[in-house]
């Protein structure tokens, strides 16, 4: 990033794009290399087999949960981009839900500066297993033998190393741009709603933002989860925003 963007990184400019989104390109290239040399399929079978014995789900879903913890929500689906169209809707839902229950390692580093690392690590693992419990209730299904035997080892047969590498680098950069665009759009919409609600409620002498109202709505849920009353309003607002 320093070579392309110069001193912007050193000056702290475009921090989120350079520090959080640009690493997606590197991780995407790394995934491509591991897949090309047949290492990633072995990891999938090993981790998926062990974890599937615990949660009773398919090997692909089990590996997806672990890779989401390591790679993050955006990067981990690059590993399956060629087989997503071959799996059932139930499996796709499970993979999306397990990915949404985790955060990228780059974001985890930021969390560890605010909380003790042991609590952050514990939360990541608990989120993963609690997601499996919820999914077994709301999205039960059985994986057919034909689906379970989806092979990822020959997905890039016939491609040269640099052809494959270029494809994955471009895929990673596209993911980074898409994530940036989605963040800009959703954050702008939330800011607009906050301004609108603050203006309307200000006519009545209250001036409450949209996120503030959501905090009151989710206050009981946060309190039931064990959040102290003094912090439940803020936690409820964060939960609703997510």
- Between CA 220 and CA 146 the distance in angstroms is 45
**Has residue 196 been placed in a domain?**
no
> How many distinct structural domains can be found in the chain?
1
Residue 109 lies in a domain: yes
Give the integer Cα–Cα distance in Å for 93 and 76: 15
Question: Is 27 domain-assigned?
Answer: yes
Q: Is residue 234 part of a domain?
A: no
pLDDT of 153 reads 46
Q: Which DSSP letter does residue 20 get? A: I
Residue 13 within a domain: yes
- Asked, for residue 9, whether it belongs to a domain, the answer is yes
Q: Quick one: which of 169, 179, 177, 180 has its CA closest to 28?
A: 169
Measure the CA–CA gap between 24 and 176, rounded to whole angstroms: 6
In a domain? residue 240: no
Burial (CB count within 10 angstroms: exposed 0-12, middle 13-18, buried 19+), residue 62? buried
The Cα–Cα gap between 5 and 111 comes to 26
Write phi, then psi, for 56 (nearest 5 degrees).
Answer: 75, 10
End-to-end CA distance of the chain: 29
User: Rounded distance, CA 9 to CA 3, Å?
Assistant: 10
pLDDT in tens, the chain (242 residues): 566 666 666 666 666 777 777 777 887 888 788 878 878 778 777 877 888 888 878 778 888 887 777 666 666 676 677 777 778 888 889 888 888 887 765 566 657 766 788 888 888 888 888 888 898 889 888 777 666 655 554 555 677 888 888 988 888 888 888 888 988 999 999 999 999 998 988 888 888 888 888 888 999 998 998 888 888 888 888 888 87
Q: Which domain holds residue 91?
A: 2-186
Cα 111 to Cα 119: distance, rounded to the nearest angstrom: 10
- Indicate whether 173 belongs to any domain: yes
Answer yes or no: are the C-beta atoms of 179 and 230 closer than 8 Å.
Answer: no
Residue 2 confidence (pLDDT): 65
Q: What are phi and psi of 116, to 5 degrees?
A: -65, 135
Q: What pTM, to 2 d.p., does this model score?
A: 0.65
User: Nearest Cα to 80, choosing from 53, 90, 91?
Assistant: 91
Q: Give the pLDDT score at 196.
A: 93
């Amino acid at each position: 990033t320093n070579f392309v963007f110069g001193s912007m990184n050193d000056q702290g400019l475009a921090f989120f794009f350079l520090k959080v989104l640009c690493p997606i390109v590197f991780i995407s290239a790394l995934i491509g290399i591991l897949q090309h040399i047949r290492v990633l399929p072995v990891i999938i079978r090993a981790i998926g087999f062990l974890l599937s014995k615990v949660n009773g789900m398919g090997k692909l879903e089990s590996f997806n949960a672990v890779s989401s913890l390591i790679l993050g929500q955006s990067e981990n689906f690059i590993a399956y981009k060629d087989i997503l169209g071959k799996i059932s809707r139930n499996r796709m839902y499970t993979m999306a839900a397990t990915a949404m229950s985790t955060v990228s390692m780059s974001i985890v580093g930021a969390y560890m500066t605010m909380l003790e690392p042991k609590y952050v690590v514990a939360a990541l693992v608990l989120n993963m297993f609690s997601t499996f419990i919820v999914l077994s209730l709301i999205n039960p299904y059985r994986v057919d033998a034909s689906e379970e035997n989806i092979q990822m080892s020959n997905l890039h047969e016939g491609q040269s190393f640099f052809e494959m590498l270029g494809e994955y680098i471009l895929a990673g950069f596209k993911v980074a741009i898409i994530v940036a665009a989605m963040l800009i759009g959703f954050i702008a919409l939330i800011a607009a709603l906050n301004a609108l609600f603050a203006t309307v409620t200000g006519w009545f002498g209250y001036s409450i933002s949209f996120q503030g109202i959501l905090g009151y709505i989710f206050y009981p849920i946060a309190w039931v989860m064990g959040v102290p009353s003094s912090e439940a309003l803020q936690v409820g607002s964060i939960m609703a925003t997510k």
